[in-house]
Structure 1
Amino acid sequence: MDIPQVEISFRYINLLILLLGLVIIMHLLSKKYARKRTLRFGNFEVLEKVAGKKLFPRDLIPLFLRILAIVLIILVISDLVLVREEYVARTDFILAIDTSASMLTPDYEPNRIEFVKRTAIDFIGKLRNTKVGVVTFSGKAHARLKPTSDMNTVERTLQKIQFEGPAGTAIGDAIVVSESLFDESDRNRSIILITDGRNNIGRNITDALKALNESNTRIYPIGIGSKVEEEVTIPPDLEELNATPAEFPNLDEDMLRLLANKTNGKYFIIDDEDSFKRAFETGLDFKKVSTEPTLHLLLLLCIILLIDWGLEITKFRVLP
């Protein structure tokens, strides 16, 4: 959670210094007066030894409470404001996530699918007042969740995602299925498409783009994995399928750029968690949310004054 910034007017700083000085002076005078009254009944040093070393430190408790009370009063009249920044999405999202065999490649910890899930869950945790849906695709595209503002449901759906068949990467189908999940509303629509491959089964990209019609849905393709074919360790999950590195398709960046350009989106190639988070946050804005804690400060002030009054008539009462 981000730490809120504090905005405060310092026009009463002189008053604060004056009042703090008066409280300290009054405390010292009161202590001197109490010592004189104590001497009427006996030796102060003897009483101090009997009471123990806590006699002097205990005198600081009322002073501390009164200083704190004055600080709170000054904060209340100084229009204290706590300001925090939060993400604002004026868009509803579909997360379309590639779950083909190549997404089990362990070039991210522990593999690409788990890396995507972890970062996506972090992303949705920052969203306010928006809806998120989930689509997965390999050889077929599957609608996992219609857009919802219940981020707990979205998180549970993401956590359940795992490698699935049949073989292939149906990016065109994923776009069409994603578009079909959006509600009829005036809100902007964005598909965040995450893949490490190329469209090699199902609808072609041209037909998929036509299916968007006049919806003005933007596609933000995020490419994950290596740009070129390279030797990788075969994940244990795929050894039983007799998979080989040659079966892992290259990332089709030209196709992903086309999707972004045709829909006024933006294409990203990511190589670490930070770049992935920046890609997710592209469609988001920041807004400042201000909170005036006046009521809380007044409540705290009342509690402190009650404690001070209670101590004054009990523990710190001066005997006549």
Structure 2
Amino acid sequence: MSLSQFSNPLWLLFLLVVATLVVGYVLVQRRRHRNTLRFTNFALLERVAPDRPGWIRHVPVLLLVLSLVFFTVALAGPTRDERVPRNRATVIMAIDVSLSMQATDVEPTRLAAAQEAAKSFADGLTPGINLGLVAFAGTASVLVSPTTNRDATKAAIDNLQLSERTATGEAIFTSLQSISTLAAVLGGGDEAPPARIVLLSDGKQTVPESPDDPRGGFTAARQAKDQGVPVSTISFGTTYGRVEIESDRIPVPVDDESLREIADLSGGSFFTASSLEELRKVYDTLEEQIGFETRRGDASRPWMLLGVLFATTGLATALVFRQRLP
């Protein structure tokens, strides 16, 4: 345990006082022993007190000294990391609804599996988080503004409709706008609540052609970084996925590279999933990351309890074995 883990580390200096008391006790015992050897008639001592006290007479003092150590640590205010549910945060789920999401490489289809996992994610988030939903294909739309009403979000997830093309950048820009709107409505506070975008997609951006375009995915990720909103991306599907469009079997492999770059540029995390079970695990991980925060909490109670326990035991031992308090 380092000094940085104490809220009042100066109290630890009291341990020097405890150490001084220990040294003083040892010196007193040595002096008493020397005086005994110098002035005692051993023949008479054997007849009067044949059973002289042994090491057990030091136990009460030892226990009391340890109690002082524990009390000192408690006064120094030890702390520990505690996971606390967030009660102020905004999360936008951005879900790809391009035609490639009808591929059946993930049973029953990519979209159906994504819908089921997204609803489980909504149910698992801590109640105080505002959750919104953005669907994107050639354009992006806010289907549900950030709210704590999970039923509204899940109903919108059930009604997702497929469309042509993929505008990943628009999904991020639209999500950022939704987050800003909520922050403006809420107002108050020194700073806006933490926010994150969780973007699920299965393919490469097609609108605009370049991700570095002013409305492209990489540009949007950089803006998200500037606004302090990480984008966690999920590449969902396989490399052998295909869809049938107008009797043609068109390959729709996942595009891990661009989604990983978006996550890196924005300060978010990148995940892959090629099945419903894997996607659920990804969302479980995100629930832990988003739904809880780590704070430094007070950890003095165990030390205080140890101090009380050792002090009480020390006094009881003194009364039982020495018939007096030390």
| TM-score, normalization by structure 1 | 0.55
CA contact (8 A) 1:87 1:284 kept: no
Q: What is the CA distance between 1:89 and its match in structure 2? A: 6.8
**Aligned equivalent of 2:105:** 107
CA contact (8 A) 2:97 2:162 kept: yes
**Aligned equivalent of 1:214:** 226
**Aligned equivalent of 1:170:** 167
Structure 2: how far apart are the matches of 1:133 and 1:111?
23
Residues 9-35 of structure 1: per-residue CA shift (max 9 Å, x gap): xxxxxxxxxxxxxxxxxxxxxxxxxxx
CA contact (8 A) 2:107 2:275 kept: no
Residues 127-167 of structure 1: per-residue CA shift (max 9 Å, x gap): 22111111111111122111111111111111111212xx2
Whether 2:281 is the aligned partner of 1:278: answer yes
Among 250, 261, 264, the alignment partner of 1:245 is 250
Among 118, 121, 124, the alignment partner of 1:123 is 121
Greater helix share, structure number:
2
Structure 1: how far apart are the matches of 2:145 and 2:95?
14
Among 259, 268, 291, the alignment partner of 1:256 is 259
CA contact (8 A) 1:103 1:112 kept: yes
Structure 2: how far apart are the matches of 1:231 and 1:121?
24
Q: Map of 1:164-243 to 2, 5 A cutoff?
A: 164=163, 167-182=164-179, 183-184=182-183, 186-202=192-208, 203-212=215-224, 214-226=226-238, 228=239, 230=240, 232=242, 234=243, 238-239=244-245, 241-243=246-248
Letter in 1 for 2:235: G
How many pairs were matched up? 192
**Aligned equivalent of 2:137:** 138
Structure 2: how far apart are the matches of 1:218 and 1:109?
30
Any gaps of 5 or more consecutive residues in structure 2? Answer: 1-82, 184-190, 209-214, 294-326
Question: Against the structure 1 CA distance between its residues 88 and 200, is the aligned structure 2 distance closer, same or farther, given a 3 Å change threshold?
Answer: same
Letter in 2 for 1:273: L
Percent identity among equivalent residues?
Answer: 23
Any gaps of 5 or more consecutive residues in structure 1? Answer: 1-84, 288-320
Q: What is the CA distance between 1:218 and its match in structure 2? A: 0.8
**Aligned equivalent of 2:22:** none
Structure 2: how far apart are the matches of 1:277 and 1:147?
22
| TM-score, normalization by structure 2 | 0.54
Structure 2: how far apart are the matches of 1:208 and 1:97?
16
Letter in 2 for 1:252: D
Question: Against the structure 1 CA distance between its residues 89 and 160, is the aligned structure 2 distance closer, same or farther, given a 3 Å change threshold?
Answer: farther
SS at match of 1:192: strand
Q: What is the CA distance between 1:205 and its match in structure 2? A: 2.5
Residues 195-253 of structure 1: per-residue CA shift (max 9 Å, x gap): 11011213222322343363210111000111x3x364x4xxx55x344224x2x3221
Which protein, 1 or 2, shows the higher relative CO under an 8 Å CA cutoff with sep ≥ 6? 2
SS at match of 1:95: strand
Question: Against the structure 1 CA distance between its residues 210 and 266, is the aligned structure 2 distance closer, same or farther, given a 3 Å change threshold?
Answer: closer
Structure 2: how far apart are the matches of 1:124 and 1:197?
24
Letter in 1 for 2:279: F
SS at match of 1:244: strand
Structure 2: how far apart are the matches of 1:158 and 1:251?
22
Structure 1: how far apart are the matches of 2:134 and 2:174?
8
Runs of 4+ displaced beyond 4 Å = 85-90
Structure 1: how far apart are the matches of 2:172 and 2:117?
21
Residues 92-111 of structure 1: per-residue CA shift (max 9 Å, x gap): 11111010111001122321
